[in-house]
């Protein structure tokens, strides 16, 4: 009897699922055949038409005599760089340092640490003001030296035999195993040189704090690695971008700019040497046109040199898009960049949750009368709760998508933990626009994964609605207050937009120029009383109109729209599931951030601007990788009767 009931329930459930699957499949087919579906899926035709246009021929040209001269010149430059004295000296120094024994580095670390500790003691007892960085640096250097004395292996072999460093260097940075395993068992010992180097480093602490010396050594190592392999520079920039405020006393944007510029120089040198390629297509030219428009907005502006500085900063950071598209040429490097993006996000989220639990964030970023039960909004390393929220909604679709993609339970749990940390930190930002963007992005991700996903999503509506009853009342009240004029922040935006609207009536065509100074210079003439001190328009689209005019806004919408159309074309093709999920996650992240951009200037923080274009680049890079894999894919099926092979095209 029980078995009959169970069979009945199973048949009923199967009928319901089949009905839902058929209905959603019909809905997807209807959307695909509609004008919107044909428009989104028409990127291939548009790109082919562009490649056949006169503009494309003008930009690329045929291989004429002048082109052959340029090729010969490039090859000549490549040979000169390979044989240059600086290049050979740098290679010889790097090789010598890798052959040097670990205990030699221990000698340097020990003596430099002792020098820092002794200096701290002498300055302390001489009643001279001294920083504790002397003591902390000295203790850390001595502690690091002790395990180094235990081995005389070359540095390269020791790094290769260490599980942590091998994973970091080979797994994360993509360094070849041969470079770590090709050194002898015993390293070269240079104790006297190490002691002299420690003395020189100690003398330099007269002019700079002691922690600057090991930090400078690490920066030189990073410089060498980036020049050797520009992909490492991209990875370091993506990982460090949200964490740069932890470098107390250093400008995070300047550090990021330097890293991107150095990576670009390394990439260009590789192109000259014939070791990398550069490829442009329709969507890339649209992004380039928008970047040139930003540069134009910094030259023709009301903001002077400040506006030019802002525009150049935007343009340099936008190079991250072209670096990502052209350097991420394999699935391994795509996973490395995604890993850097998500792992730094975990650190930011943990710091944000710790800020909520351990510190008092105050009532600076919300209405304390309407939301008296909110004890503060976290901002972690992004300086502002809304900026932190914008950063997190870029990551949530990737974490959810990769979680659904995993076949191993442990890997799925890892991505689920990432998504949970991002979500918890996002809640503590109390950013209503980001909450809405996160929900929309996750729902859209399920919709983009296929009609069966929509069926399962529809089945989850009732349980999800029931869970709303258990949400904290503060969260529900905060969310439903979207659009309420009783909230001072929303009222402030509405009054601000009124002044911006009056301003755009006069400057809608060309804008006033890029940057905060250009906006403030003109906006104060149109602002309502009490709203004169606004630094931006609190809307990405209004800000683009104010800065670049209607042409700039159209170019931005066109560039993003082309990427969305390309993604729709790719997802409707014969790509594999893993690449489809990554492309869908990237599109959902972009859509979530653009949705939040309706009520926030999401590019006010340069690092969020950079990561937005990185996500765009990763999405395009995954599509290129998938298309190239399909181009070379020739699955073979053997005929069981004749033994011959037949080529199958899926």
Using CA atoms, how far apart are residues 304 and 297, in angstroms rounded to an integer? 11
Burial level of 321, CB count in 10 A (0-12/13-18/19+)? Answer: buried
pLDDT for 9 equals 45
**SS3 of residue 360 by DSSP:** coil
Low-confidence ranges of the chain (pLDDT < 50): 1-2, 4-13, 63, 65, 634-650
pLDDT score for 105: 92
CB atoms within 10 A of CB 486: 10
pLDDT of 650 reads 24
Q: For the full predicted model, state whether its pTM sits above 0.85.
A: yes
Distance CA 306, CA 517 (A): 7
Q: H-helix or E-strand containing 612?
A: helix 606-631
Distance (Å, whole) CA 191 – CA 104: 6
pLDDT of residue 596: 92
Angle between helices 230-240 and 331-358 (to 10 degrees): 20
Per-residue model confidence (pLDDT) at position 347: 95
- Residues with Cβ within 8 Å of residue 191, at least 6 apart in sequence: 104, 107
pLDDT of residue 8: 46
**What CA–CA distance (Å, rounded) separates 328 from 233?**
12
For the chain, give the number of residues. 650
Q: Which residues contact 513 (CB under 8 A, 6 or more apart)?
A: 297, 298, 300, 301, 302, 303, 307, 547
pLDDT at 649: 26
**What are the residues whose beta carbons fall under 8 Å from the beta carbon of 88, sequence distance 6 or more?**
none
pLDDT, position 371:
60
pLDDT at 11: 47
């Amino acid at each position: 009897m029980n078995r009959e009931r169970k069979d009945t329930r199973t048949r009923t459930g199967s009928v319901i699922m089949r009905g839902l699957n058929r209905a959603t499949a019909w809905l997807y087919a209807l959307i695909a055949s509609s004008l919107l579906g044909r428009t989104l899926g028409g990127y291939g035709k548009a790109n082919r038409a562009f490649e056949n246009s006169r503009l494309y021929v003008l930009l690329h040209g045929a291989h004429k005599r002048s082109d052959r001269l340029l090729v010969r010149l490039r090859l000549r430059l490549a040979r000169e760089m390979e044989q240059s004295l600086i290049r050979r000296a740098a290679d010889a120094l790097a090789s010598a340092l890798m052959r040097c024994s670990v205990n030699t580095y221990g000698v340097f670390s020990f003596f430099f640490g002792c020098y820092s500790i002794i200096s701290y003691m002498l300055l302390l007892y001489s009643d001279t003001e001294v920083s504790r960085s002397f003591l902390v640096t000295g203790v850390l250097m001595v502690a690091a030296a002790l395990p180094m004395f235990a081995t005389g292996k070359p540095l390269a072999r020791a790094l290769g035999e260490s599980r942590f460093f091998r994973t970091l260097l080979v797994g994360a940075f993509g360094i070849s195993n041969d470079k770590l395993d090709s050194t002898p068992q015993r390293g070269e010992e240079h104790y006297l040189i190490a002691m002299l180097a420690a003395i020189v480093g100690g003398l330099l602490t007269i002019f700079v704090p002691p922690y600057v010396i090991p930090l400078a050594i690490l920066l030189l190592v990073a410089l060498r690695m980036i020049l050797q392999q520009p992909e490492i520079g991209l990875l370091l920039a993506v990982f460090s971008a949200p964490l740069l405020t932890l470098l107390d006393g250093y400008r995070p944007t300047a550090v990021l700019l330097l890293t991107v510029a150095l990576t670009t120089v390394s990439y260009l040198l590789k192109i000259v040497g014939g070791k990398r390629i550069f490829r442009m297509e329709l969507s890339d030219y649209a992004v380039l046109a928008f970047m040139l428009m930003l540069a134009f907005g910094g030259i023709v502006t009301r903001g002077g040199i400040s506006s030019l500085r802002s525009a150049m900063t935007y343009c340099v950071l936008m190079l991250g898009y072209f670096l990502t598209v052209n350097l991420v040429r394999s699935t391994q490097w795509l996973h490395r960049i995604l890993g850097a993006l998500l792992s730094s996000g975990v650190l930011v989220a943990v710091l944000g949750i710790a800020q909520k639990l351990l510190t008092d964030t105050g009532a600076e970023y919300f209405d304390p009368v309407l939301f008296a039960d909110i004890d503060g909004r976290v901002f972690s390393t992004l300086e502002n709760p809304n900026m932190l929220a914008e950063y997190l909604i870029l990551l949530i679709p990737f974490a959810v998508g990769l979680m659904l993609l995993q076949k191993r339970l442990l890997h799925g749990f890892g991505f689920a933990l990432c998504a949970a940390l991002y979500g918890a930190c996002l809640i503590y930002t109390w950013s209503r626009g980001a909450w809405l963007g996160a929900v929309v992005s996750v729902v859209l991700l399920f919709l983009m994964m296929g009609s069966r996903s929509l069926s399962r999503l529809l089945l989850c509506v009732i349980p999800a609605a029931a869970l709303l009853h258990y949400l904290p009342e503060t969260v529900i009240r905060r969310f439903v207050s979207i659009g309420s004029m009783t909230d001072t922040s929303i009222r402030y935006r509405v009054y601000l937009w009124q002044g911006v609207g009056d301003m755009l009536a006069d400057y809608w065509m060309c804008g006033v120029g890029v940057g905060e100074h250009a906006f403030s210079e003109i906006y104060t003439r149109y602002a309502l009383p009490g709203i004169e001190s606004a630094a931006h328009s609190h809307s990405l689209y209004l800000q683009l109109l104010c800065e670049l005019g209607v042409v700039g806004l159209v170019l931005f919408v066109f560039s993003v729209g082309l990427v969305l159309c390309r993604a729709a074309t790719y997802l409707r093709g014969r790509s594999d599931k893993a690449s489809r999920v990554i492309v869908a996650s990237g599109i959902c992240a972009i859509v979530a951030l653009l949705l939040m951009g309706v009520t926030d200037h999401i590019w006010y923080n340069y690092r969020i601007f950079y990561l937005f274009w990185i996500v765009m680049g990763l999405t395009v890079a995954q599509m290129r990788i998938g298309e190239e894999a399909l181009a070379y894919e020739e699955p073979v099926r053997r005929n069981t009767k004749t033994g011959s092979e037949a080529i199958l095209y899926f």
